[in-house]
């Protein structure tokens, strides 16, 4: 049988009787697929494998523990042979052909009246692949197509409008690099009818959306909120109630200082289904882009994330407890003074990472006593993450006199020999990095 002789179609077998002849693992897989399609399955085989007997014991199919008879094909809509005996399979196939019943002959795909494709289901899309009778090739292609749909590399978005209710997905887009959004987030973005977007996060992905996908910009900057949060909440609900799939694309993680909890609560209060997709928060990922871990053996076992200097009185003022300031550039001088008054030494290392993971990423490193002047002189601006504590010493961009010891897990407290690094690694995708030292 040539591939040109195949007419692809999909059978609706809900409630219709079908016959499976054979009791081995192949027959069990085919019976399971037919049950998933809603068919009424009868299995004929002298012996059955545990998978089949389990389905029979559960009352999901009927098992006739005997050899095949020609009359078994009477009144069925579809037949699958999988006995492992070519002669028996050929007889079943011939009997089905005589009654004009479609039959898949597992022993001889060339002589088979029908082929069973390799199948995968992604959302409400079913993928079926035939590959010239080569099942392993078909499975490999099926898996590749399914993965591309799952990751958003192929369009999964509905093109026909439906009467079903709309949904909202709060998607954490990560720190801005398009490769750091989750697979689930990328997939939902590819299905969206409407995207409500922040100014941070993976903005480049917006250019990949279909032309008819509406993008509603609601981005905020420190002290400037052109679209109030109450209006953002209303937009999400209104669009969903019109039957749209809405993605709220946020930077970082929706539940880490992202007001995602408020948006989810508002949607639920108005009867809108909402899904929250966690993202890589900038509080942890952006320091990592500069080689700064928020915890490190021998340096810090915990960390606090704050957004304003008034909150600093509640965090431990110790160099071995990392403090991460988000949206803190404007209050940096006051924050440094607050930590100093709380007892944090003026020589505590501080690192500022601007535009983490973006081409214009910049790293500024100093101490608690000098960092405000350094930042002002360098024109440091948001978006930036400020890291305060001894973990800054681990950064490859830290000055040599900061690196007094190697705090690795293999040779703790051995002398460190690394010199000051002023260039970036490929993993940070940074083209401009400035290291400022006191």
Q: Which residues are catalytic?
A: 198, 220
What value, to the nearest 5°, has the Cα angle with vertex 248 and ends 161 and 257?
165
To which H or E segment does residue 96 belong? helix 86-98
By the 8 A CB rule, do 89 and 106 touch? yes
Which residues does 428 contact at the CB level (< 8 Å), separation at least 6? 289, 290, 291, 357, 361
Q: Which residue has the tokens 């993971």?
A: 357
What value, to the nearest 5°, has the Cα angle with vertex 179 and ends 330 and 267?
70
Collapsing DSSP states into helix, strand and coil, what is residue 18?
A: strand
**CA pair distance 144, 422, nearest whole angstrom:** 41
Collapsing DSSP states into helix, strand and coil, what is residue 239?
A: helix
112: nearest Cα among 127, 130, 129? 130
**CA pair distance 426, 433, nearest whole angstrom:** 12
Which residues does 367 contact at the CB level (< 8 Å), separation at least 6? 346, 347, 348, 349, 350, 438
Cis amide prior to 383 (ω within 30 degrees): yes
**CA pair distance 68, 88, nearest whole angstrom:** 8
**CA pair distance 299, 287, nearest whole angstrom:** 15
Which residues on neighbouring strands pair with residue 171, listed in sequence order?
Answer: 249, 277
**CA pair distance 384, 328, nearest whole angstrom:** 8
């Amino acid at each position: 049988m040539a591939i040109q002789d195949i007419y692809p179609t999909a059978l609706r077998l809900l409630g219709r009787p079908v016959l499976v002849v054979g009791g081995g693992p192949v027959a069990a897989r085919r019976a399971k697929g037919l049950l998933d399609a809603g068919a009424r399955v009868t299995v004929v085989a002298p012996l059955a494998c545990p998978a089949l007997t389990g389905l029979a014991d559960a009352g999901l199919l009927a098992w006739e523990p005997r050899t095949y008879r020609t009359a078994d094909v009477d009144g069925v809509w579809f037949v699958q042979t999988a006995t492992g005996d070519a002669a028996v399979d050929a007889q079943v196939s011939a009997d089905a052909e005589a009654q004009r019943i479609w039959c898949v002959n597992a022993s001889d795909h060339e002589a088979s009246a029908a082929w069973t494709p390799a199948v995968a289901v992604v959302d409400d899309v079913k993928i079926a692949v035939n590959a010239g009778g080569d099942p392993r090739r078909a499975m490999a292609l099926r898996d590749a197509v399914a993965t591309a749909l799952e990751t958003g590399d192929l369009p999964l978005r509905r093109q026909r409008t439906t009467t079903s209710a709309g949904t909202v997905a709060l998607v954490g887009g990560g720190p801005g690099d398009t490769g750091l959004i989750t697979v689930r987030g990328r997939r939902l973005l590819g299905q969206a009818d409407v995207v409500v977007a922040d100014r941070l996060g993976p903005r480049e992905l917006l250019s990949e959306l279909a032309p008819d996908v509406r993008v509603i910009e609601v981005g905020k900057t420190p002290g400037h909120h052109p679209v109030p949060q109450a209006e953002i909440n209303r937009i999400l609900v209104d669009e969903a109630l019109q039957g749209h799939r809405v993605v709220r694309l946020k930077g970082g993680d929706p539940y880490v200082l992202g007001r995602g909890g408020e948006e989810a609560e508002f949607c639920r209060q108005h009867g809108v289904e909402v899904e929250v997709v966690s993202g890589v928060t900038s509080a942890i990922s952006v320091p990592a882009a500069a080689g700064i871990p928020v915890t490190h053996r021998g340096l810090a076992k915990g960390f606090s994330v704050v957004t304003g200097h008034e909150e600093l009185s509640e965090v431990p003022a110790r160099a071995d407890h990392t403090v991460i300031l988000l949206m803190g550039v404007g209050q940096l001088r006051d924050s440094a003074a607050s930590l100093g008054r709380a007892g944090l030494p003026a020589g505590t290392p501080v690192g500022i990472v601007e535009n983490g993971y973006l081409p214009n990423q910049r790293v500024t490193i100093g101490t608690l006593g000098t960092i405000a002047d350094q930042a002002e002189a360098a024109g440091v601006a948001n978006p930036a993450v400020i890291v305060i504590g001894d973990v800054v010493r681990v950064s490859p961009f830290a000055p040599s006199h900061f690196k007094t010891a190697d705090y690795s897990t293999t040779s703790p407290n051995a002398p460190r020999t690394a010199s000051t690094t002023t260039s970036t690694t490929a993993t940070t995708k940074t083209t401009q990095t400035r290291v400022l030292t006191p």
